[in-house]
Amino acid sequence: MRTYNFSAGPAMLPLPVLEQAQAELLTWQDGMSVMEVTHRSAAFKALAEQTETLLRELLNIPLQYKIFLLPGGATSQFSMVPLNLLPVGKTADYVITGFWSEQAMLEAKRYGMINIATSNQNEIPFDIPAVSSWQLTKDAEYVHYTDNETIDGIEFRATPVISNAPLVSDMSSNLLTKPIDVSQYGIIYACAQKNLGPAGLTIVIIRKDLIGHARADTPGMFNYANHLNAAPPCLNTAPTFIWYMIGLVLAWVKNEGGVTVMAERNQQKADLLYNAIDQSNGFYHSKVCANVRSRVNVPFFLLKPDLEDIFLEEAARVGLMNLAGHRQRGGVRASIYNAMPLAGVKALVAFMQEFERVKG
Amino acid sequence: MRTYNFSAGPAMLPLPVLEQAQAELLTWQDGMSVMEVTHRSAAFKALAEQTETLLRELLNIPLQYKIFLLPGGATSQFSMVPLNLLPVGKTADYVITGFWSEQAMLEAKRYGMINIATSNQNEIPFDIPAVSSWQLTKDAEYVHYTDNETIDGIEFRATPVISNAPLVSDMSSNLLTKPIDVSQYGIIYACAQKNLGPAGLTIVIIRKDLIGHARADTPGMFNYANHLNAAPPCLNTAPTFIWYMIGLVLAWVKNEGGVTVMAERNQQKADLLYNAIDQSNGFYHSKVCANVRSRVNVPFFLLKPDLEDIFLEEAARVGLMNLAGHRQRGGVRASIYNAMPLAGVKALVAFMQEFERVKG
């Protein structure tokens, strides 16, 4: 029996997607599994083109943006962004709103001068400082921020409007969960394992004029220009199965009504959960200000921390899995990405209320 | 219906492996697909440990070697090897026996001084110059060679015995196809998509004393030390499904009798095919000397090149797929890795003989 999986990633996938993958696993096309097709075959090229078309359509991606599906996770983008966009001796601005934006900044610091435009790390409940208060560098090469911080559950409500430099956004945990205006960005990147598919590929949406300026010491695989200039669909052997799964997930999102519908559902799920937390008279509590609470990662804590292990154990017993907070933070965290059905969140809320009734 | 897939990679997988993956696709453990489990879960840690244990057992890997499963393909290792082993101003030796060893050399050249110890590229039929003739550097940091050249089908019959430096080997296309003595190597790397599983991970077997000397400009993901020091099983989110598939393939190899049995079968398949080529009175011909012919990639050419397209079309029509040579070389190429059954090679040989009878 399938459980509700609240993991932050790899995360739950839509059941119809898994069922289709299962049905086609032995003979996808040409009498072979999609795991067995060469990335240079006509069948895989068609798959890659369909995937790109779907992504362009769902996110309304303008033609002056190139889309890459790259290996190595968002962590690799932490290096690729400065290696490609930050010439020696130049400055980039980083906005710190949690663990992942800090990791991105620390990696970039190894390559050039980094200005921390703002940080929200000194105050709880967590907020995001107003863009007007950010200390931006006049001639920064780019401004990097993390649209959703998975660990603490902090999400930007709107694209920060800046004018000094191209905006680079890590949208690993919320790409495809809401409409976005891609034209406001220089680069958007997102690893697959939250809303896009299984782990193994990272989507990079990059304005073409930002490609071609990599530093001389950039490894071949980390140079966006090498991927741009490669024979389609990819520079080196692609994980064909992961690519295929992303295609199935995109088709599912389209079939469900697109990112606007995803946004509505995610808001509904998040509201349910935050209301349950806020109405618990402090038995559960959030450490994030209401206006920046993530719609996709909902961390919360119990008034009595010694009850947290019991909460997690009993939840798992009724099929509510992977609710432990990040190992650096403890507490509880419910990740409720696109593939988490409303029924899963309702089951969690019912469990929380019953747990509070018994232990409160 | 399943076909025989002679692709050089991604390549055929063992049918029992695909069947098990299909059966478990929706509910592997904890009521979820292995694509949905977090890489930090107990279930996945156990899977990763089993995978390592199997690999150590099958290849008899000594304890002073660390095993990594890394993203980015063998192409990423082309950069990682010099970034981690070649200090600025030092020299590495490269042995050129074909396209891939040349690619590895060209990438390394960007980071330091490269000495081409030998090259076989000027003479056809291709041979491998005797190790005694190699121009090795006295104090080279390492010697890199490619154990099997996938495109031209050139394979070392034995590990080259050198004494000047650690031996680094790209075994992307023949790891797990034969017994090897790991203790003769500094690093062995192999992408998964030939004999180990679907595309998406590269196995790196590295002597521990070679870790920890990366250059300052090495991206975090490309520094072996960061992977060594990461909390097990991995530094950042792993493609859990690919890892799982590799585990299934390793279990299949063990169940079939291990790498000695694989070597016997591969030799038998290769002999069948090369005999068919050699006994065709020149209708088919190989461009590789008999003593270095690859047991896993068998490229051959037709006396009348205008028959090659017809050969490929008619072969595909009877379920013998992906027999086209590499786009840089043309001709025919049959890749017959571990998962290609003897029956597949017999079917190809029968087709070749019938084609020759009709068109010869």
Distance (Å, whole) CA B54 – CA B50? 6
Marked catalytic residue, from A152, A194, A243, A269 = A194
CB atoms within 10 A of CB B314: 16
CB atoms within 10 A of CB B273: 23
**A-interface mutation test, from B38, B107, B243, B312, most A Cβ less than 10 A away:** B38
pLDDT of residue B343: 98
Overall average pLDDT of the B212-239 stretch = 96
A22 touches chain B (CB under 8 A): yes
Distance (Å, whole) CA A150 – CA A172? 9
pLDDT of residue B360: 87
Write the DSSP string, B231-251. Answer: STT-SS---HHHHHHHHHHHH
Which pairing describes strands A202-207 and A65-70: parallel, antiparallel, or unpaired? antiparallel
State the nearest Cα–Cα gap between B71 and chain A, in angstroms. 5
Among B321, B190, B202, B332, CA closest to A38: B321
pLDDT of residue A69: 98
Summarised one tens digit per residue, pLDDT across range B1-34 is 899 999 999 999 999 999 999 999 999 999 999 9
* Cis, peptide link before residue A219, omega less than 30° from 0: no
State the nearest Cα–Cα gap between A224 and chain B, in angstroms. 14
Is the pLDDT reported for residue B328 higher than 90? no
Buried b or exposed e, range B152-181, using 16+ CB within 10 angstroms: bbbbbeebbebebbbbbbbbbbbbbbbebe
Q: Is A356 in contact with A347 (CB distance < 8 Å)?
A: no
With tokens 């980094």, the residue in question is A114
Is the pLDDT reported for residue B164 higher than 90? no
pLDDT of residue B66: 98
B138 touches chain A (CB under 8 A): no
pLDDT of residue B34: 98
pLDDT of residue A266: 98
Please list the ranges in chain A whose pLDDT falls under 70.
Answer: none
- Rounded to 5°, the CA angle B239-B243-B247 comes to 170
**A-interface mutation test, from B25, B36, B106, most A Cβ less than 10 A away:** B36
pLDDT of residue A133: 97
Q: Please determine, for the modelled complex, whether the ipTM score is greater than 0.95.
A: yes
pLDDT of residue A327: 86
Which residue stretches of chain A are H helix?
15-23, 42-59, 73-85, 99-109, 224-229, 240-256, 259-278, 308-317, 342-359
**A223 contacts in B (CB within 8 Å)?**
none
- CA of A106: which chain B residue's CA is closest? B220
- CA of A325: which chain B residue's CA is closest? B40
Cβ neighbors of B191 (< 8 A, separation 6 or more) are A237, B9, B73, B74, B172, B199, B201, B202, B203
Strand partners, B352: none
Query: Residue B124, class by beta-carbon neighbours within 10 Å (0-12 exposed, 13-18 middle, 19+ buried)?
Result: exposed
Do A7 and B38 make contact, defined as CB atoms within 8 angstroms? yes
**A245 contacts in B (CB within 8 Å)?**
35
Is the pLDDT reported for residue B327 higher than 90? no
A278 is catalytic: no
A304 is catalytic: no
Dihedral of the alpha carbons of A244, A198, A293, A303, in degrees to the nearest 10: 160
B297 touches chain A (CB under 8 A): no
* A window 97-126, beta carbon within 8 A of B: 107, 110-111
Among B126, B127, B104, CA closest to B116: B104
* Cis, peptide link before residue B16, omega less than 30° from 0: no
**A237 contacts in B (CB within 8 Å)?**
9-10, 73, 191, 193, 199
Tokens of A28: 């996808």
Sign of CA dihedral B15, B16, B18, B23: positive
Q: Among partner residues B15, B79, B198, which is closest to A35 by beta-carbon distance?
A: B198
Q: Among partner residues A3, A83, A327, which is closest to B32 by beta-carbon distance?
A: A3
B359 is catalytic: no
Summarised one tens digit per residue, pLDDT across range B281-310 is 999 999 999 999 999 999 999 999 999 999
